[in-house]
Chains A and B, each alone.
Chain A
Amino acid sequence: MEKAFLGIDIGSISTKGVILDENNGILASEYIWTEGDPIQAVKKLLGLLEAGFDKSRYTIVGTGTTGSARKLIGTMVGATVVKNEITAHAVGTTTFYPDVRTILEIGGQDSKIILVENGVANDYAMNTLCAAGTGAFLSSQAKRLGIEVEEIGDYALSAKHPVSIAARCTVFAESDLVHKIQTGHAKEDIIAGVCNAVVANYLNNVGKGKRIASPVVFQGGVSKNKGVVAAFEKALHCPVTVDANGHLMGAIGVAILARGSKERREFDFSVENTDFHVRDASCGRCSNNCEIICVYRGDELIDSWGNRCERGSIRTKA
């Protein structure tokens, strides 16, 4: 049996999974919507991965999770590595693009920039806890304009006179956008304006004060939007590479981290048929009233977190 490694990236909007062999070859990959239910999404993802994967030839010996639900899903699938998405993206991208200097990433809730020198992540920035200028903004504006998120790119590229939209804050941008709609600007011009606003917001916030050197790789869900890619190229005056697997880079990175870690545990696809659920508990031992998340496999409590201090720790039977 040959060894394989599973990486799962569970974001607020989409859930990504890859299975890598020992030479970073992709054996299977899937990309689906999270739809507000990470546990169900991962079960579905694992079903899809299993169908496209040769179980008679490979065994999965290491599993990594990343993305905003990494802890929950890490518990659920018995991950050997649980890592934040910055590190996962940096590792994934530098493996495939050893000479990359700048990684731009815009996801559903977060945006980040990672600067790389000699193949090693050197500096980075992430949006503060506010989700302005991320995928969430693009999808809410698409809804307002009555189009699908996937269509934004084509609309934006056909624009002749992109309108200017306030880029500082999503709330300001939205009211500016409404005014532009009401004064009769063409839909494609407004959409192109929204793409420019996302880029301007990104460069003025996360990208502020950072020396963006070429080669530039752009990833995260928003990199699938041709309008934003074009806006970045115009603003940075250099080509911006979008890898065909760019949306999977977090999952790939965490699979590589799982391979690099010493921990080994055989992954069992049966989790997709096991009942997992989460219950909220209020600690109540002091006036912080910590909201504690309890994860159950069937009736068995397998993990819990969310407590600010020891008083709120819930012991698992294992």
Chain B
Amino acid sequence: MKQVSTTASRLPLIGIPRGMPYHRFGDLWKAFFKALDIQYVESEPTTLRTLEEGTAVALDETCLAMKLYLGHVMNLAGKCEFILVPGIKSFGRNREYCPHFEGLYDLVRNSCRDSRQKLITYQVDEPNGMSEADAFLELGKALGFGGREVKKAYQTAKREEQQRWQKRVLLENAKVRESGLKVFLAGHSYVLEDPYVGKPIRNFLEANGVTVLSGPVTDREQAMKNSGVLSPGCKWEINRELLGNLALKKKNIDGLILISTFPCGSDSMVNELLTRQIDSMPVLNLVLDSQSGMAGIETRLESFVDIIRFKRGLM
């Protein structure tokens, strides 16, 4: 576990679960805490145990990603004073989040009640007057800082987050120009980037000589502008970015792989929109749950790569 060293001892140690919102907002949180000199500790990378611990406390109908998130919370329970569990509802029109993001704090509080772990939160709901900046202001105040100090820390953190993101997008967009087979992976970053769930899929493709374009890594503003062609009404921000990014890159790819965790509500609707954007290109739809064997997935990935090779006359 990584720990940020600091001299301030009056401040609590904050736990950061490496699940769901972490893969989108984690850089911002860490930069924010660093700017305020607050120590934080991250949960261990996902393993089978994360899933088991999460499944033990989760409602059985909930999605795989939520079970993993709860597993990460349980991994931190007792190891820090507060665990940061945000609630993210909306950044504005067509920039909404799934109910699990919105109700994350309540879900965790109820599911992990027996651990007696204290949580800390911030709640973003822009259409109802709570912007991210305002929410962070409240978070900072709750931790005992003055308004001015918090605002400055948020601005610094936001800048750092954006710089990191731009660098990643530059690297990602350069892949479009690579020769050889290119496959677009559409899915939530918390699925694709998870070391237990999405990484093995990515590794398998790369080991088979395929360049993997990561759906969520894109210039978000540009992707949002391109997202409305097929569905002006799609309200989920993450899914809209995928729609827009695919619209931008579809001419440069050989195949599309949709990866979602069972039972994801927004994906079940948007995957259909994604497939309608492209014609005459192989599409593979993978729905992941807690299967521990890779054989079924490998068969599907291997045959998918073969079909692309057939199409390109490489086999």
Measured CB to CB, the residues of A under 8 A from B are: 68, 71, 83-87, 90, 110, 114, 120-126, 128-130, 209, 286-289, 291, 306, 308
Q: A120-B310, A128-B286 are in contact. Are A288 and B196 (CB under 8 A)?
A: yes
Name the distance in Å between A127's Cβ and chain B's nearest Cβ: 9
Q: In whole Å, how far is B294's beta carbon from the nearest beta carbon of chain A?
A: 8
Q: Is the CB of B303 within 8 A of A87?
A: yes
Q: Which 8 A-B pairs have the closest CB atoms?
A: A86-B303, A287-B49, A87-B306, A287-B47, A84-B303, A288-B47, A128-B287, A288-B48
Residues 188-222 of chain B: 1 if any A CB is under 8 Å from the residue's CB, otherwise 0?
Answer: 00000000100010000000000000000000000
Asked whether, in the complex, the Cβ of A90 is within 8 Å of the Cβ of B287, the reply is no
Contact in complex: B297, A129 (CB < 8 Å): yes
In this assembly, does B171 line the interface, its C-beta being within 8 Å of a C-beta of chain A? no
Residues of B within 8 A of A (CB): 47-50, 196, 200, 275, 280-289, 291-292, 294-297, 299-300, 302-304, 306-307, 310-311, 313
In the complex, the answer to whether B48 meets A121 with C-beta atoms within 8 Å is no
Can you list 7 A-B pairs, Cβ within 8 angstroms, ordered by A?
Answer: A85-B303, A86-B306, A87-B307, A110-B299, A120-B310, A123-B280, A123-B281
Give complex CA distance A37, B295 in Å: 17
Report the Cα distance A286→B299, complex, angstroms.
26
Smallest CB separation, A189 vs chain B (Å): 33
Q: Do B307 and A287 touch (CB < 8 A)?
A: no
Q: Please determine whether A286 and B47 come into contact, CB atoms closer than 8 angstroms.
A: yes
Contact B303 A126 (CB under 8 A): yes
**Interface-centre pick from B200, B300, B303 (highest chain A CB count, 10 A):** B303
A124 touches B297 (CB 8 A): no
Residue of B nearest to A109 (CB): B296
* Shortest distance from the beta carbon of B49 to any chain A beta carbon, whole Å: 4
How many A-B pairs fall under 8 Å by CB? Answer: 79
B47 near A85 with CB under 8 A, answer no
Residues of B within 8 A of A124 (CB): 282, 303-304, 307
Whether B303 and A128, one on each chain, are in contact in the complex, defined by CB atoms closer than 8 angstroms, is no
- Measured CB to CB, the closest approach of chain B to A205, in angstroms, equals 10
In the complex, what distance in Å separates the CA atom of A97 from the CA atom of B299? 24
A288 CA to B285 CA in the complex, in Å? 25
Contact assessment for B299 and A121 in the assembled complex, using a CB-CB cutoff below 8 Å: no
Q: In whole angstroms, what is the CA distance A86 to B301 when docked?
A: 11
Once bound together, how far apart are the Cα atoms of A161 and B256, in whole Å?
42
Within the complex, the shortest CB–CB distance from A3 to chain B, in Å, comes to 22
